Structure 1
Amino acid sequence: MSKLKLGIPKGSLQDATIKLFAKAGWKINPSHRNYFPEINDESMQCSMCRAQEMSRYVADGTLDVGLTGKDWIEENESDVVVVSDLVYSKVSNRPARWVLAVAGDSPYEKPEDLRGKKIATELCNFTRKWFSEQGIDVDVEFSWGATEAKVVEGLCDAIVEVTETGTTIRAHGLRIIKDMMYTNTRLIANKEAWEDPFKRKKIEQINMLLKGALEAEALVGLKMNVPADKVDTVMELLPALTAPTVAHLHNSDWVSVEIVVAESTVRDLIPQLVDHGASGIIEYALNKVI
Protein backbone atom coordinates (compact mmCIF):
# COMPACT_ATOMS: atom_id res chain seq x y z
CA MET A 1 0.00 0.00 0.00
CA SER A 2 1.24 3.48 -0.89
CA LYS A 3 2.06 5.58 2.15
CA LEU A 4 2.07 9.32 2.64
CA LYS A 5 5.53 10.52 3.71
CA LEU A 6 5.07 13.16 6.40
CA GLY A 7 7.81 15.50 7.62
CA ILE A 8 7.73 16.81 11.21
CA PRO A 9 10.01 19.80 11.99
CA LYS A 10 12.77 18.87 14.40
CA GLY A 11 13.86 21.52 16.90
CA SER A 12 11.91 24.38 18.44
CA LEU A 13 8.63 23.51 16.69
CA GLN A 14 8.82 19.76 17.35
CA ASP A 15 6.89 19.56 20.62
CA ALA A 16 4.21 22.03 19.50
CA THR A 17 3.72 20.12 16.23
CA ILE A 18 3.47 16.71 17.91
CA LYS A 19 0.99 18.14 20.42
CA LEU A 20 -1.11 19.63 17.59
CA PHE A 21 -1.15 16.31 15.70
CA ALA A 22 -2.23 14.54 18.90
CA LYS A 23 -5.24 16.85 19.20
CA ALA A 24 -6.01 16.21 15.54
CA GLY A 25 -5.99 12.44 16.15
CA TRP A 26 -2.46 11.29 15.22
CA LYS A 27 -0.15 10.05 17.98
CA ILE A 28 3.49 10.58 17.01
CA ASN A 29 6.11 8.91 19.21
CA PRO A 30 9.58 10.37 18.57
CA SER A 31 12.67 8.36 19.40
CA HIS A 32 16.04 9.72 20.49
CA ARG A 33 17.68 6.91 18.53
CA ASN A 34 16.43 7.74 15.04
CA TYR A 35 14.63 10.28 12.88
CA PHE A 36 11.64 8.07 12.01
CA PRO A 37 9.03 8.26 14.79
CA GLU A 38 6.09 5.92 15.01
CA ILE A 39 2.66 7.23 14.03
CA ASN A 40 -0.70 5.55 14.67
CA ASP A 41 -1.75 5.54 11.02
CA GLU A 42 -0.76 2.67 8.73
CA SER A 43 -1.23 4.85 5.66
CA MET A 44 1.52 7.27 6.76
CA GLN A 45 5.20 7.18 7.57
CA CYS A 46 6.86 9.92 9.55
CA SER A 47 10.29 11.56 9.34
CA MET A 48 11.95 14.27 11.39
CA CYS A 49 14.03 17.00 9.78
CA ARG A 50 14.99 20.58 10.49
CA ALA A 51 12.47 23.23 9.50
CA GLN A 52 15.26 24.95 7.54
CA GLU A 53 15.53 21.90 5.24
CA MET A 54 11.90 20.78 5.11
CA SER A 55 10.85 22.63 1.97
CA ARG A 56 13.79 21.22 0.00
CA TYR A 57 12.87 17.65 0.92
CA VAL A 58 9.22 18.25 0.04
CA ALA A 59 10.14 19.91 -3.26
CA ASP A 60 12.38 17.04 -4.40
CA GLY A 61 9.89 14.33 -3.35
CA THR A 62 11.84 12.89 -0.42
CA LEU A 63 8.74 13.87 1.58
CA ASP A 64 5.17 14.21 0.32
CA VAL A 65 4.04 16.74 2.90
CA GLY A 66 5.59 18.65 5.78
CA LEU A 67 5.40 21.66 8.04
CA THR A 68 7.83 24.55 7.93
CA GLY A 69 7.89 28.32 8.03
CA LYS A 70 7.15 30.75 5.24
CA ASP A 71 10.66 32.10 5.90
CA TRP A 72 12.40 28.85 4.94
CA ILE A 73 10.24 28.31 1.88
CA GLU A 74 11.33 31.73 0.64
CA GLU A 75 14.95 31.24 1.73
CA ASN A 76 15.23 27.96 -0.20
CA GLU A 77 13.08 29.21 -3.11
CA SER A 78 11.27 25.88 -2.95
CA ASP A 79 8.72 24.95 -5.60
CA VAL A 80 6.00 23.41 -3.42
CA VAL A 81 2.24 23.55 -2.95
CA VAL A 82 1.32 25.70 0.05
CA VAL A 83 -1.75 23.86 1.35
CA SER A 84 -2.52 26.26 4.20
CA ASP A 85 -1.20 28.59 6.89
CA LEU A 86 -1.19 27.09 10.37
CA VAL A 87 -0.52 29.80 12.91
CA TYR A 88 1.10 28.13 15.90
CA SER A 89 4.50 28.33 17.55
CA LYS A 90 6.49 27.24 20.59
CA VAL A 91 5.69 30.45 22.51
CA SER A 92 2.86 32.72 21.47
CA ASN A 93 0.71 31.08 18.77
CA ARG A 94 1.13 34.13 16.58
CA PRO A 95 3.31 34.82 13.53
CA ALA A 96 7.00 35.29 14.25
CA ARG A 97 8.97 38.07 12.59
CA TRP A 98 12.43 38.46 11.17
CA VAL A 99 13.86 41.76 12.34
CA LEU A 100 16.87 43.92 11.65
CA ALA A 101 18.55 44.70 14.97
CA VAL A 102 21.58 46.68 16.08
CA ALA A 103 23.35 47.30 19.37
CA GLY A 104 21.41 49.50 21.78
CA ASP A 105 24.08 52.22 21.68
CA SER A 106 24.60 51.95 17.92
CA PRO A 107 24.30 55.11 15.79
CA TYR A 108 22.27 53.19 13.18
CA GLU A 109 18.58 54.19 13.12
CA LYS A 110 17.33 52.84 9.79
CA PRO A 111 18.37 50.23 7.18
CA GLU A 112 19.98 52.88 4.96
CA ASP A 113 22.47 53.64 7.73
CA LEU A 114 23.93 50.15 7.29
CA ARG A 115 25.18 50.75 3.76
CA GLY A 116 28.55 49.00 3.39
CA LYS A 117 28.21 47.32 6.81
CA LYS A 118 28.31 43.66 7.82
CA ILE A 119 25.08 41.83 8.70
CA ALA A 120 24.99 38.34 10.23
CA THR A 121 21.99 36.05 9.76
CA GLU A 122 20.87 32.50 9.12
CA LEU A 123 18.50 33.79 6.44
CA CYS A 124 21.12 34.91 3.93
CA ASN A 125 19.26 34.63 0.62
CA PHE A 126 16.25 36.53 1.88
CA THR A 127 18.40 39.22 3.53
CA ARG A 128 20.51 39.81 0.41
CA LYS A 129 17.37 40.03 -1.72
CA TRP A 130 15.64 42.39 0.72
CA PHE A 131 18.54 44.84 0.88
CA SER A 132 19.06 44.62 -2.88
CA GLU A 133 15.43 45.58 -3.46
CA GLN A 134 15.96 48.58 -1.17
CA GLY A 135 19.06 49.59 -3.14
CA ILE A 136 21.29 49.22 -0.07
CA ASP A 137 24.67 47.53 -0.54
CA VAL A 138 25.57 45.42 2.53
CA ASP A 139 27.84 42.47 3.34
CA VAL A 140 25.68 39.53 4.45
CA GLU A 141 27.37 36.59 6.15
CA PHE A 142 25.92 33.32 7.39
CA SER A 143 25.57 32.85 11.13
CA TRP A 144 25.68 29.36 12.63
CA GLY A 145 23.91 30.45 15.79
CA ALA A 146 24.18 32.77 18.80
CA THR A 147 23.56 35.51 16.29
CA GLU A 148 22.48 38.12 18.85
CA ALA A 149 25.87 37.91 20.60
CA LYS A 150 27.78 38.77 17.43
CA VAL A 151 26.67 42.39 17.50
CA VAL A 152 27.65 42.70 21.14
CA GLU A 153 31.06 41.13 20.44
CA GLY A 154 31.67 43.45 17.50
CA LEU A 155 31.72 40.64 14.93
CA CYS A 156 29.09 42.39 12.81
CA ASP A 157 27.25 45.71 12.66
CA ALA A 158 23.70 44.30 12.65
CA ILE A 159 21.79 41.05 12.58
CA VAL A 160 18.67 39.73 10.92
CA GLU A 161 17.07 37.37 13.41
CA VAL A 162 13.70 35.75 14.10
CA THR A 163 11.72 36.65 17.19
CA GLU A 164 8.23 36.08 18.54
CA THR A 165 8.14 38.45 21.48
CA GLY A 166 11.38 40.42 21.14
CA THR A 167 12.46 39.32 24.62
CA THR A 168 15.72 37.66 23.56
CA ILE A 169 16.63 40.60 21.34
CA ARG A 170 16.18 43.06 24.22
CA ALA A 171 17.92 40.75 26.68
CA HIS A 172 21.08 41.01 24.59
CA GLY A 173 20.91 44.80 24.67
CA LEU A 174 19.87 45.07 21.03
CA ARG A 175 17.46 47.45 19.38
CA ILE A 176 15.11 46.56 16.51
CA ILE A 177 15.18 49.11 13.70
CA LYS A 178 13.07 47.28 11.09
CA ASP A 179 10.56 44.44 10.82
CA MET A 180 11.56 42.64 7.62
CA MET A 181 9.18 39.69 7.33
CA TYR A 182 6.34 38.08 9.23
CA THR A 183 6.37 34.30 9.08
CA ASN A 184 4.14 31.47 10.23
CA THR A 185 4.05 27.71 9.91
CA ARG A 186 2.74 26.34 6.63
CA LEU A 187 1.58 22.93 5.56
CA ILE A 188 3.31 22.27 2.25
CA ALA A 189 3.05 19.42 -0.26
CA ASN A 190 5.12 18.01 -3.07
CA LYS A 191 3.57 18.87 -6.44
CA GLU A 192 3.43 15.27 -7.66
CA ALA A 193 2.01 14.06 -4.36
CA TRP A 194 -0.67 16.77 -4.58
CA GLU A 195 -1.77 15.35 -7.96
CA ASP A 196 -1.98 11.79 -6.59
CA PRO A 197 -5.65 11.18 -5.57
CA PHE A 198 -4.84 9.06 -2.49
CA LYS A 199 -2.13 11.37 -1.20
CA ARG A 200 -4.09 14.53 -1.89
CA LYS A 201 -7.10 13.21 0.01
CA LYS A 202 -4.85 12.31 2.94
CA ILE A 203 -3.16 15.73 2.88
CA GLU A 204 -6.56 17.46 2.84
CA GLN A 205 -7.64 15.30 5.80
CA ILE A 206 -4.53 16.33 7.75
CA ASN A 207 -5.10 19.97 6.88
CA MET A 208 -8.75 19.93 7.95
CA LEU A 209 -8.07 18.25 11.30
CA LEU A 210 -4.99 20.35 12.13
CA LYS A 211 -6.94 23.53 11.44
CA GLY A 212 -9.81 22.19 13.54
CA ALA A 213 -7.41 21.51 16.41
CA LEU A 214 -5.97 25.02 16.17
CA GLU A 215 -9.45 26.54 16.08
CA ALA A 216 -10.35 24.65 19.24
CA GLU A 217 -7.36 25.94 21.23
CA ALA A 218 -9.02 29.27 22.01
CA LEU A 219 -12.48 27.79 22.65
CA VAL A 220 -14.23 25.79 25.35
CA GLY A 221 -17.62 24.16 25.72
CA LEU A 222 -20.09 25.21 28.40
CA LYS A 223 -23.03 23.13 29.52
CA MET A 224 -25.56 24.28 32.12
CA ASN A 225 -29.08 23.92 33.45
CA VAL A 226 -31.40 26.94 33.25
CA PRO A 227 -34.96 27.49 34.53
CA ALA A 228 -37.30 27.57 31.55
CA ASP A 229 -38.55 31.05 32.49
CA LYS A 230 -34.94 32.38 32.53
CA VAL A 231 -33.82 30.99 29.17
CA ASP A 232 -34.35 34.18 27.17
CA THR A 233 -32.40 36.22 29.71
CA VAL A 234 -29.51 33.73 29.75
CA MET A 235 -29.47 33.57 25.94
CA GLU A 236 -28.73 37.28 25.78
CA LEU A 237 -25.52 36.67 27.73
CA LEU A 238 -24.15 33.91 25.50
CA PRO A 239 -21.53 34.86 22.87
CA ALA A 240 -21.86 31.48 21.18
CA LEU A 241 -19.88 30.29 18.18
CA THR A 242 -23.19 29.00 16.81
CA ALA A 243 -26.72 29.04 18.18
CA PRO A 244 -26.80 27.31 21.59
CA THR A 245 -28.25 23.81 21.85
CA VAL A 246 -31.31 23.78 24.15
CA ALA A 247 -32.93 20.54 25.39
CA HIS A 248 -35.84 20.19 27.79
CA LEU A 249 -35.08 18.08 30.85
CA HIS A 250 -37.46 15.16 31.51
CA ASN A 251 -40.36 16.04 33.82
CA SER A 252 -38.81 19.37 34.73
CA ASP A 253 -39.27 23.11 34.34
CA TRP A 254 -35.56 23.36 33.53
CA VAL A 255 -33.68 23.11 30.24
CA SER A 256 -30.13 22.06 29.38
CA VAL A 257 -28.11 24.63 27.40
CA GLU A 258 -24.83 23.84 25.64
CA ILE A 259 -22.60 26.30 23.79
CA VAL A 260 -19.07 26.86 22.49
CA VAL A 261 -17.44 30.14 23.54
CA ALA A 262 -14.04 31.83 23.58
CA GLU A 263 -12.08 30.67 26.61
CA SER A 264 -11.08 34.27 27.34
CA THR A 265 -14.73 35.18 28.07
CA VAL A 266 -15.47 32.39 30.55
CA ARG A 267 -14.13 33.98 33.73
CA ASP A 268 -16.55 36.89 33.34
CA LEU A 269 -19.37 34.93 31.74
CA ILE A 270 -19.88 32.19 34.38
CA PRO A 271 -20.63 34.59 37.29
CA GLN A 272 -23.15 36.40 35.08
CA LEU A 273 -24.83 33.11 34.18
CA VAL A 274 -25.10 32.16 37.85
CA ASP A 275 -26.57 35.57 38.68
CA HIS A 276 -29.25 34.98 36.05
CA GLY A 277 -30.30 31.54 37.30
CA ALA A 278 -27.99 29.06 35.56
CA SER A 279 -26.62 26.19 37.66
CA GLY A 280 -24.70 22.93 37.21
CA ILE A 281 -22.32 24.74 34.85
CA ILE A 282 -19.67 22.49 33.28
CA GLU A 283 -16.71 23.83 31.32
CA TYR A 284 -14.84 21.36 29.10
CA ALA A 285 -11.92 21.47 26.71
CA LEU A 286 -12.30 20.91 22.97
CA ASN A 287 -9.95 18.94 20.70
CA LYS A 288 -11.28 20.11 17.35
CA VAL A 289 -13.80 22.60 15.99
CA ILE A 290 -14.61 22.03 12.30
Structure 2
Amino acid sequence: MSNLLSLGIPKGSLENATVELFRKAGWNITVSSRSYFPTIDDEEVNCKLIRPQEMGKYVERGTIDVGIAGRDWVRENDSDVVEVCEMVYSKVSRRPARWVLVVTQDSPVRGPEDLHGATISTELVGFTKRYFAERNIPVNVEFSWGATEAKVVDGLCDAIVEVTETGSTIRANGLRIVCDLMESVPVMIANRESWNDPWKREKIETIATLLKSALAAEGMVGLKMNAPNDRVEAITRILPSLNNPTVAHLYNSDWVSVESILHEKEVRRIVPELLKLGAQGIIEYPLNKIL
Protein backbone atom coordinates (compact mmCIF):
# COMPACT_ATOMS: atom_id res chain seq x y z
CA MET A 1 0.00 0.00 0.00
CA SER A 2 1.32 3.43 -0.94
CA ASN A 3 1.05 6.60 1.11
CA LEU A 4 -1.47 8.04 -1.30
CA LEU A 5 -5.20 8.01 -0.63
CA SER A 6 -7.70 7.94 -3.49
CA LEU A 7 -10.83 9.91 -2.61
CA GLY A 8 -14.17 9.78 -4.43
CA ILE A 9 -16.12 13.06 -4.54
CA PRO A 10 -19.84 12.53 -5.32
CA LYS A 11 -20.75 14.09 -8.65
CA GLY A 12 -24.19 15.70 -8.76
CA SER A 13 -26.39 17.07 -5.99
CA LEU A 14 -23.82 16.50 -3.22
CA GLU A 15 -20.83 17.77 -5.19
CA ASN A 16 -20.80 21.47 -4.27
CA ALA A 17 -21.74 20.81 -0.64
CA THR A 18 -18.95 18.22 -0.37
CA VAL A 19 -16.33 20.58 -1.80
CA GLU A 20 -17.49 23.33 0.57
CA LEU A 21 -17.42 20.95 3.53
CA PHE A 22 -13.83 19.93 2.73
CA ARG A 23 -12.91 23.63 2.51
CA LYS A 24 -14.23 24.23 6.03
CA ALA A 25 -12.41 21.12 7.22
CA GLY A 26 -9.12 22.45 5.83
CA TRP A 27 -8.80 21.06 2.27
CA ASN A 28 -9.23 23.12 -0.87
CA ILE A 29 -10.66 21.07 -3.73
CA THR A 30 -10.93 22.57 -7.22
CA VAL A 31 -13.34 20.99 -9.67
CA SER A 32 -13.10 21.70 -13.39
CA SER A 33 -16.08 21.25 -15.70
CA ARG A 34 -13.70 19.65 -18.21
CA SER A 35 -12.17 17.06 -15.91
CA TYR A 36 -13.28 14.19 -13.70
CA PHE A 37 -10.13 14.58 -11.61
CA PRO A 38 -10.42 17.50 -9.14
CA THR A 39 -7.27 18.91 -7.61
CA ILE A 40 -6.72 19.02 -3.85
CA ASP A 41 -4.08 20.84 -1.82
CA ASP A 42 -2.90 17.66 -0.11
CA GLU A 43 -0.07 15.70 -1.72
CA GLU A 44 -1.23 12.57 0.13
CA VAL A 45 -4.67 12.57 -1.53
CA ASN A 46 -5.91 12.41 -5.10
CA CYS A 47 -9.53 12.92 -6.08
CA LYS A 48 -11.96 11.51 -8.60
CA LEU A 49 -15.49 12.59 -9.41
CA ILE A 50 -17.76 9.55 -9.13
CA ARG A 51 -21.53 9.24 -9.46
CA PRO A 52 -22.99 8.32 -6.05
CA GLN A 53 -24.85 5.45 -7.75
CA GLU A 54 -21.46 3.87 -8.57
CA MET A 55 -19.38 4.92 -5.57
CA GLY A 56 -19.96 1.72 -3.61
CA LYS A 57 -18.77 -0.64 -6.33
CA TYR A 58 -15.60 1.36 -7.02
CA VAL A 59 -14.77 1.54 -3.32
CA GLU A 60 -15.44 -2.19 -2.94
CA ARG A 61 -13.08 -2.98 -5.84
CA GLY A 62 -10.37 -0.71 -4.45
CA THR A 63 -10.43 1.55 -7.50
CA ILE A 64 -10.76 4.28 -4.89
CA ASP A 65 -9.92 3.96 -1.20
CA VAL A 66 -12.67 6.09 0.27
CA GLY A 67 -15.70 7.99 -0.99
CA ILE A 68 -18.92 9.72 -0.02
CA ALA A 69 -22.32 8.60 -1.30
CA GLY A 70 -25.87 8.04 -0.15
CA ARG A 71 -26.35 4.92 1.94
CA ASP A 72 -29.18 3.99 -0.45
CA TRP A 73 -26.80 3.58 -3.39
CA VAL A 74 -24.30 1.68 -1.28
CA ARG A 75 -27.07 -0.75 -0.35
CA GLU A 76 -28.39 -0.81 -3.92
CA ASN A 77 -25.06 -2.22 -5.08
CA ASP A 78 -24.86 -4.46 -1.99
CA SER A 79 -21.32 -3.12 -1.62
CA ASP A 80 -18.98 -4.86 0.82
CA VAL A 81 -17.34 -1.75 2.29
CA VAL A 82 -16.59 -0.18 5.67
CA GLU A 83 -19.04 2.57 6.64
CA VAL A 84 -16.76 5.07 8.34
CA CYS A 85 -19.36 7.65 9.40
CA GLU A 86 -22.53 9.48 8.45
CA MET A 87 -22.19 12.85 6.72
CA VAL A 88 -25.50 14.68 7.14
CA TYR A 89 -25.19 17.89 5.12
CA SER A 90 -27.43 20.64 6.49
CA LYS A 91 -26.96 22.69 3.31
CA VAL A 92 -28.51 19.83 1.33
CA SER A 93 -31.03 18.58 3.87
CA ARG A 94 -31.11 17.51 7.49
CA ARG A 95 -33.92 15.07 6.66
CA PRO A 96 -32.97 11.53 5.63
CA ALA A 97 -34.03 10.52 2.15
CA ARG A 98 -36.84 7.96 2.38
CA TRP A 99 -37.37 5.22 -0.18
CA VAL A 100 -41.05 4.41 -0.06
CA LEU A 101 -43.45 1.95 -1.64
CA VAL A 102 -46.10 3.92 -3.52
CA VAL A 103 -49.42 3.06 -5.20
CA THR A 104 -52.38 5.01 -6.55
CA GLN A 105 -54.98 6.28 -4.10
CA ASP A 106 -57.56 3.73 -5.29
CA SER A 107 -55.18 0.75 -5.18
CA PRO A 108 -56.28 -2.13 -2.92
CA VAL A 109 -52.67 -2.59 -1.78
CA ARG A 110 -52.25 -2.01 1.95
CA GLY A 111 -48.90 -3.69 2.53
CA PRO A 112 -45.97 -5.22 0.61
CA GLU A 113 -47.56 -8.68 0.86
CA ASP A 114 -50.46 -7.47 -1.29
CA LEU A 115 -48.10 -7.07 -4.26
CA HIS A 116 -47.69 -10.81 -4.86
CA GLY A 117 -46.94 -11.21 -8.60
CA ALA A 118 -47.05 -7.43 -9.21
CA THR A 119 -44.77 -5.25 -11.33
CA ILE A 120 -42.79 -2.56 -9.49
CA SER A 121 -40.90 0.25 -11.20
CA THR A 122 -37.90 1.93 -9.53
CA GLU A 123 -34.35 3.19 -9.90
CA LEU A 124 -33.41 1.08 -6.87
CA VAL A 125 -33.77 -2.31 -8.55
CA GLY A 126 -31.24 -4.39 -6.59
CA PHE A 127 -32.40 -3.25 -3.18
CA THR A 128 -36.08 -3.63 -4.08
CA LYS A 129 -35.57 -7.17 -5.37
CA ARG A 130 -33.77 -8.15 -2.16
CA TYR A 131 -36.41 -6.46 0.01
CA PHE A 132 -39.24 -8.53 -1.47
CA ALA A 133 -37.15 -11.72 -1.78
CA GLU A 134 -36.32 -11.56 1.94
CA ARG A 135 -40.08 -11.54 2.61
CA ASN A 136 -40.80 -14.33 0.12
CA ILE A 137 -43.02 -12.05 -1.97
CA PRO A 138 -42.57 -12.77 -5.71
CA VAL A 139 -42.61 -9.55 -7.74
CA ASN A 140 -41.30 -8.28 -11.07
CA VAL A 141 -38.98 -5.29 -10.54
CA GLU A 142 -38.27 -3.06 -13.54
CA PHE A 143 -35.67 -0.30 -13.81
CA SER A 144 -37.15 3.17 -14.27
CA TRP A 145 -35.22 5.72 -16.32
CA GLY A 146 -37.25 8.55 -14.79
CA ALA A 147 -40.79 9.90 -14.46
CA THR A 148 -41.36 6.96 -12.13
CA GLU A 149 -44.47 8.41 -10.51
CA ALA A 150 -46.15 8.76 -13.90
CA LYS A 151 -45.72 5.04 -14.56
CA VAL A 152 -47.99 3.96 -11.72
CA VAL A 153 -50.50 6.70 -12.58
CA ASP A 154 -50.63 5.51 -16.20
CA GLY A 155 -51.00 1.88 -15.19
CA LEU A 156 -47.60 0.85 -16.57
CA CYS A 157 -46.84 -0.84 -13.27
CA ASP A 158 -48.68 -1.78 -10.07
CA ALA A 159 -46.45 0.13 -7.67
CA ILE A 160 -43.24 2.13 -7.52
CA VAL A 161 -40.37 2.49 -5.08
CA GLU A 162 -39.44 6.16 -5.04
CA VAL A 163 -37.30 8.53 -3.01
CA THR A 164 -38.84 11.36 -1.02
CA GLU A 165 -38.23 13.52 2.05
CA THR A 166 -41.67 14.69 3.13
CA GLY A 167 -43.95 12.79 0.77
CA SER A 168 -45.63 16.03 -0.35
CA THR A 169 -44.84 15.57 -4.06
CA ILE A 170 -46.15 12.02 -3.97
CA ARG A 171 -49.41 13.13 -2.38
CA ALA A 172 -49.69 16.05 -4.81
CA ASN A 173 -49.64 13.54 -7.68
CA GLY A 174 -52.59 11.64 -6.21
CA LEU A 175 -50.48 8.76 -4.94
CA ARG A 176 -50.32 7.01 -1.59
CA ILE A 177 -47.33 5.79 0.43
CA VAL A 178 -47.84 2.20 1.54
CA CYS A 179 -44.75 2.01 3.75
CA ASP A 180 -41.14 3.11 4.12
CA LEU A 181 -38.53 0.65 2.86
CA MET A 182 -35.33 2.48 3.79
CA GLU A 183 -33.93 5.76 5.12
CA SER A 184 -30.71 7.10 3.66
CA VAL A 185 -28.17 9.78 4.51
CA PRO A 186 -24.75 10.47 2.94
CA VAL A 187 -22.04 8.21 4.34
CA MET A 188 -18.27 7.98 4.05
CA ILE A 189 -17.28 4.48 2.96
CA ALA A 190 -13.87 2.83 2.72
CA ASN A 191 -12.40 -0.13 0.90
CA ARG A 192 -11.77 -2.97 3.38
CA GLU A 193 -8.16 -3.53 2.33
CA SER A 194 -7.47 0.21 2.54
CA TRP A 195 -9.12 0.32 5.98
CA ASN A 196 -6.79 -2.41 7.18
CA ASP A 197 -3.70 -0.51 5.98
CA PRO A 198 -2.46 1.49 9.04
CA TRP A 199 -1.41 4.61 7.12
CA LYS A 200 -4.56 4.80 5.02
CA ARG A 201 -6.83 4.13 7.98
CA GLU A 202 -5.23 6.92 9.99
CA LYS A 203 -5.59 9.30 7.02
CA ILE A 204 -9.23 8.31 6.51
CA GLU A 205 -10.01 8.75 10.21
CA THR A 206 -8.32 12.17 10.22
CA ILE A 207 -10.41 13.31 7.24
CA ALA A 208 -13.59 11.91 8.82
CA THR A 209 -12.90 13.65 12.13
CA LEU A 210 -12.34 17.04 10.51
CA LEU A 211 -15.34 16.69 8.19
CA LYS A 212 -17.58 15.82 11.13
CA SER A 213 -16.20 18.79 13.06
CA ALA A 214 -17.07 21.04 10.11
CA LEU A 215 -20.57 19.57 10.01
CA ALA A 216 -20.94 20.12 13.75
CA ALA A 217 -20.07 23.80 13.24
CA GLU A 218 -22.74 24.39 10.58
CA GLY A 219 -25.20 26.97 11.84
CA MET A 220 -23.14 27.58 14.99
CA VAL A 221 -21.36 30.82 15.94
CA GLY A 222 -19.18 32.09 18.71
CA LEU A 223 -20.39 34.97 20.88
CA LYS A 224 -18.03 37.04 22.99
CA MET A 225 -18.78 40.01 25.22
CA ASN A 226 -17.68 42.02 28.21
CA ALA A 227 -19.88 42.33 31.28
CA PRO A 228 -19.80 43.71 34.82
CA ASN A 229 -18.76 41.07 37.32
CA ASP A 230 -22.02 41.40 39.26
CA ARG A 231 -24.05 40.50 36.13
CA VAL A 232 -22.19 37.31 35.23
CA GLU A 233 -24.62 34.93 36.91
CA ALA A 234 -27.61 36.48 35.16
CA ILE A 235 -25.86 36.50 31.78
CA THR A 236 -24.58 32.91 31.94
CA ARG A 237 -28.03 31.73 33.01
CA ILE A 238 -29.58 32.80 29.69
CA LEU A 239 -26.57 32.07 27.50
CA PRO A 240 -26.74 28.75 25.58
CA SER A 241 -23.45 26.88 25.23
CA LEU A 242 -22.07 23.47 24.30
CA ASN A 243 -20.97 22.96 27.92
CA ASN A 244 -20.64 26.10 30.05
CA PRO A 245 -19.69 29.61 28.92
CA THR A 246 -16.06 30.66 29.39
CA VAL A 247 -15.63 33.49 31.88
CA ALA A 248 -12.30 35.31 32.26
CA HIS A 249 -11.50 38.33 34.41
CA LEU A 250 -10.27 41.41 32.57
CA TYR A 251 -6.92 42.75 33.74
CA ASN A 252 -7.13 45.29 36.54
CA SER A 253 -10.89 45.55 36.24
CA ASP A 254 -14.13 44.42 37.90
CA TRP A 255 -15.41 43.38 34.45
CA VAL A 256 -15.19 39.94 32.86
CA SER A 257 -15.08 38.52 29.37
CA VAL A 258 -17.77 35.95 28.59
CA GLU A 259 -17.54 33.61 25.59
CA SER A 260 -19.91 30.94 24.35
CA ILE A 261 -20.90 28.86 21.33
CA LEU A 262 -24.52 28.80 20.24
CA HIS A 263 -26.76 28.32 17.25
CA GLU A 264 -26.85 31.30 14.89
CA LYS A 265 -30.65 31.49 15.15
CA GLU A 266 -30.36 32.05 18.91
CA VAL A 267 -28.33 35.25 18.44
CA ARG A 268 -31.23 37.46 17.34
CA ARG A 269 -33.20 36.41 20.41
CA ILE A 270 -30.47 36.57 23.00
CA VAL A 271 -28.51 39.73 22.08
CA PRO A 272 -31.27 42.17 23.19
CA GLU A 273 -31.47 40.31 26.51
CA LEU A 274 -27.70 40.47 26.96
CA LEU A 275 -27.71 44.22 26.34
CA LYS A 276 -30.43 44.70 28.95
CA LEU A 277 -28.29 42.79 31.43
CA GLY A 278 -25.35 45.13 30.84
CA ALA A 279 -23.23 43.21 28.33
CA GLN A 280 -21.07 45.38 26.07
CA GLY A 281 -18.74 44.91 23.10
CA ILE A 282 -20.67 41.86 21.88
CA ILE A 283 -18.85 40.12 19.02
CA GLU A 284 -20.31 37.35 16.87
CA TYR A 285 -17.89 35.26 14.82
CA PRO A 286 -18.30 32.27 12.46
CA LEU A 287 -17.00 28.78 13.19
CA ASN A 288 -15.43 26.39 10.73
CA LYS A 289 -15.02 23.40 13.01
CA ILE A 290 -16.15 22.14 16.40
CA LEU A 291 -14.05 19.26 17.73
TM-score bucket (shorter structure): over 0.9
Aligned residue in 1 for 2:180:
179
More displaced, 131-140 or 17-26?
A: 131-140
Aligned residue in 1 for 2:202:
201
Aligned residue in 2 for 1:134:
135
**Could you list the per-position Cα deviations for residues 132-177 of structure 1 after superposition, in whole angstroms to 9, with x for gaps in the alignment?**
2333222111112222222223221211111223243234332212
Structure 1 CA distance for aligned equivalents of residues 174 and 146 of structure 2: 17
Q: Quote how far apart the aligned CAs of 1:59 are.
A: 0.8
Q: How many residues align?
A: 290
Q: Quote how far apart the aligned CAs of 1:89 are.
A: 6.3
Aligned residue in 1 for 2:241:
240
Matched residue type, 2:38: P
Aligned residue in 2 for 1:262:
263
Q: Quote how far apart the aligned CAs of 1:2 are.
A: 3.3
Which structure 2 residues correspond to residues 87-98 of structure 1 after superposition, within 5 A?
Answer: 87-88=88-89, 91-98=92-99
Matched residue type, 1:127: T
2:159 is aligned with 1:154:
no
Matched residue type, 1:257: V
TM-score (norm 1): 0.93
SS at match of 1:187: strand
Matched residue type, 1:110: G
Whether the aligned pair in 1 keeps the contact of 2:14 and 2:92 (CA below 8 Å) is no
Matched residue type, 1:259: S
Structure 1 CA distance for aligned equivalents of residues 221 and 72 of structure 2: 32
**Could you list the per-position Cα deviations for residues 117-145 of structure 1 after superposition, in whole angstroms to 9, with x for gaps in the alignment?**
21111111211121223332221111122
2:263 is aligned with 1:278:
no
**Could you list the per-position Cα deviations for residues 16-68 of structure 1 after superposition, in whole angstroms to 9, with x for gaps in the alignment?**
21121111111111111121011111111100111111011011110010011
More displaced, 241-250 or 199-208?
A: 241-250
Query: Kindly tell me: are residues 141 and 157 of structure 1, through their superposed partners in 2, closer, same or farther at Cα, counting changes over 3 Å?
Result: same
**Could you list the per-position Cα deviations for residues 95-123 of structure 1 after superposition, in whole angstroms to 9, with x for gaps in the alignment?**
21111112234343332332222111111
Structure 2, gaps ≥5 residues long: none
Matched residue type, 2:282: I
Percent identity, please.
61
Query: Kindly tell me: are residues 189 and 288 of structure 1, through their superposed partners in 2, closer, same or farther at Cα, counting changes over 3 Å?
Result: same
Aligned residue in 1 for 2:213:
212
Which structure 2 residues correspond to residues 8-87 of structure 1 after superposition, within 5 A?
Answer: 8-87=9-88
TM-score (norm 2): 0.93
SS at match of 1:236: helix
More displaced, 61-70 or 73-82?
A: 73-82
Whether the aligned pair in 1 keeps the contact of 2:250 and 2:257 (CA below 8 Å) is yes
- RMSD of Structure 2 on Structure 1 (CA): 1.8
Matched residue type, 2:135: Q
Structure 1, gaps ≥5 residues long: none
Whether the aligned pair in 1 keeps the contact of 2:17 and 2:92 (CA below 8 Å) is no
